[in-house]
Amino acid sequence: MHAIILTAGEGARLGSWTSNRPKGMVPIGNRPILDYLVRGIVKSGVKKIHMVVGYSKNSVMSYFGDGSSFGAKISYFFQEKRTGTLEAMRIGMSDDISDFILVPGDNYVSSDSFSKLRAANGLALLSGKADRWSKWGEIELEKGKPKITFDNPEAYQRIHFTGIAKLNSETADELINCSGKHIGEALELILPNSDFEVVESKHWHNIVYPWDLISGNRVAFIDNQLYRSGKIERNVTIKGEVSIGKGTIIRSGTYLVGPISIGDSCDIGPNSVIGPSVSLGDNVQIGSFSEILDSIVMKNCEIGSYCSLKGTVVGENSSLGSHVVAIPSSRDIMYFNQTFSVSDRGAMIGDNSKIGNRAILQGGSILMNEAAIGDGELYNADFQGDSI
């Protein structure tokens, strides 16, 4: 059996973090979303992976290589134009594929989902409980048979299609020959005359908008890889599952509460409080007396002293001065001309941003890449479209 992973898209709604990588390479829990998918696929016993790449393909190919370090054989197929997920699936298929698992590369699912899917007797759809409406559609059972609908009712806790399915070449060809570009819409047409089993993922997180990264980060710690390297000075308190990378220094008086994942070559503290549910990428520097909770700080970032960040995303290569505060709040925001209710979130800061000393960022604020906030400024806009 093969797996076909679709990861050619840009992910425009996460544009602050996808200027140099596809959506599947955005990190949660200190690893790209695709990393969790590949490891889960391999753990299920599927070793041959066809990865369909396009936008910023080199970032994917350089990370996974030939797949040998993941225990797999990865082959790459190219979708240069955004012609839809059905076309991407067709590109990923080859003459030697009969049965395969189809995997969109931008959703997190718990690693055991693929074993459950593979164990299904025939065709199968992977489902998950939704917090909001998913583009893949809702799964309903009618006389014991699944159907996909796009009626868009209140989505919370309803069962949705994750976009992940176990298919054979005959059914895949039938889907490709349907009108349209979208796998979910094609399945809606063929399901009445097909026999699909529905398998439920224990954990599924559909990452579409910036604030999804925070909840995705929390869920990803279910698959946290535990390691303890670097240097830990005296009087450091560590509670729970905390991973510390090579060359990292945790300075005296710092208090760590897991789950936390800290990358390589970081410098933390002294006397800072980190966690829970915090991921810090490689080469992150955090000054003294700072507090970071329920947040993602991507690689090559510098956080000054006396900062307080909660429910916040800091894009890679960004710098925050001292005494910067990101205040979590729940409110309605305008994003890409749509209104969304955002709960308990701090600021979403894009890559390559510079935030001055004593700046205050209101919860729900979304800053595009290369944003610049001056010393002492209060930023409370919903969304800055291009630059600040």
The CATH number that applies at residue 252 is 2.160.10.10
The domain that holds 177 is classified in CATH as 3.90.550.10
- Specify if 25 maps to a domain: yes
Which residue from 258, 218, 205, 241 is spatially nearest to 345, judged by alpha carbons?
Answer: 218
Reported as a single tens digit per residue, the pLDDT across 32-59 is 999 999 999 999 999 999 999 999 999 9
Instruction: Please check whether residues 43 and 181 belong to one and the same domain.
Output: yes
- Residue 383's pLDDT band, with cuts at 50, 70 and 90, is low
What pLDDT does residue 215 have? 93
- How far is CA 318 from each of CA 25, 59, 76, 235, 325, rounded to the nearest angstrom? 18, 19, 32, 29, 15
Check: CB of residue 146 under 8 Å from CB of residue 140.
Answer: yes
Instruction: Please check whether residues 237 and 365 belong to one and the same domain.
Output: yes
Which residue from 349, 341, 269 is spatially nearest to 311, judged by alpha carbons?
Answer: 349
- Specify if 120 maps to a domain: yes
- Residue 137's pLDDT band, with cuts at 50, 70 and 90, is confident
DSSP state of 224: P
The burial class, CB within 10 Å (0-12 / 13-18 / 19+), for 172 is buried
Check: CB of residue 338 under 8 Å from CB of residue 302.
Answer: no
Instruction: Please check whether residues 264 and 299 belong to one and the same domain.
Output: yes
Give the ranges where the chain is alpha helix by DSSP (H): 33-43, 57-64, 85-92, 112-119, 169-176, 183-190, 212-220
* For range 363-372, the mean pLDDT: 92
Check: CB of residue 317 under 8 Å from CB of residue 352.
Answer: yes
What pLDDT does residue 141 have? 85
- Specify if 216 maps to a domain: no
Q: How many residues does the chain have?
A: 388
Using CA atoms, how far apart are residues 356 and 322, in angstroms rounded to an integer?
Answer: 8
138, pLDDT greater than 70: yes
Which residue from 13, 48, 70, 17 is spatially nearest to 371, judged by alpha carbons?
Answer: 17
* For range 70-77, the mean pLDDT: 97
Lowest average pLDDT, out of 49-58, 84-93, 141-150, 261-270, goes to: 141-150
Instruction: Please check whether residues 160 and 257 belong to one and the same domain.
Output: no
More confident residue, 266 or 134: 266
Instruction: Please check whether residues 319 and 258 belong to one and the same domain.
Output: yes
386, pLDDT greater than 70: no
pLDDT above 90 coverage of the chain, percent: 71
19, pLDDT greater than 70: yes
Instruction: Please check whether residues 203 and 272 belong to one and the same domain.
Output: no
Task: Report helix, strand and coil shares of the chain as percent, to nearest 5.
Answer: 20, 35, 45
Q: Which of helix, strand or coil describes residue 261?
A: strand
- Specify if 217 maps to a domain: no
What pLDDT does residue 387 have? 41
Using CA atoms, how far apart are residues 337 and 272, in angstroms rounded to an integer?
Answer: 39
Using CA atoms, how far apart are residues 63 and 315, in angstroms rounded to an integer?
Answer: 19
Instruction: Please check whether residues 26 and 120 belong to one and the same domain.
Output: yes
Instruction: State which residues form the domain around 272.
Output: 227-379
131, pLDDT greater than 80: no
Residue 273 falls in which region: left (phi positive, over 0), alpha (psi -120 to 50) or beta? beta
Instruction: Please check whether residues 315 and 177 belong to one and the same domain.
Output: no
Reported as a single tens digit per residue, the pLDDT across 178-196 is 877 789 889 999 998 889 9
DSSP state of 232: E
Which phi and psi (to 5°) does residue 173 adopt? -65, -35
Instruction: Please check whether residues 152 and 80 belong to one and the same domain.
Output: yes
Q: Rounded to the nearest 5 degrees, what angle is found at the Cα of 199, between the Cα atoms of 195 and 200?
A: 150
- Specify if 12 maps to a domain: yes
* For range 113-131, the mean pLDDT: 91
Amino acid at 10: E
The burial class, CB within 10 Å (0-12 / 13-18 / 19+), for 149 is middle
384, pLDDT greater than 60: no
What pLDDT does residue 218 have? 95
* For range 341-355, the mean pLDDT: 94
DSSP β-bridge partners for residue 77: 52
* For range 80-99, the mean pLDDT: 88
Residue 315 tokens read as 């894009």
Inter-axis angle of helices 169-176 and 183-190, to 10 degrees?
A: 110
* CB neighbour burial string for 207-222, b if at least 16 within 10 angstroms, e if fewer: bebbbbbbbbbbbbbe
Instruction: Please check whether residues 200 and 251 belong to one and the same domain.
Output: no
- Residue 11's pLDDT band, with cuts at 50, 70 and 90, is confident
- Specify if 213 maps to a domain: no
Instruction: Please check whether residues 284 and 336 belong to one and the same domain.
Output: yes
Residue 14 tokens read as 């996460």
What is the tally of structural domains in the chain?
2
Reported as a single tens digit per residue, the pLDDT across 150-173 is 876 666 668 889 999 999 999 999
266, pLDDT greater than 70: yes
Instruction: Please check whether residues 133 and 245 belong to one and the same domain.
Output: no
Q: Which of helix, strand or coil describes residue 235?
A: coil
Using CA atoms, how far apart are residues 29 and 36, in angstroms rounded to an integer?
Answer: 10
What pLDDT does residue 9 have? 85
- Specify if 385 maps to a domain: no
* Pair type for strands 99-104 and 159-168: antiparallel
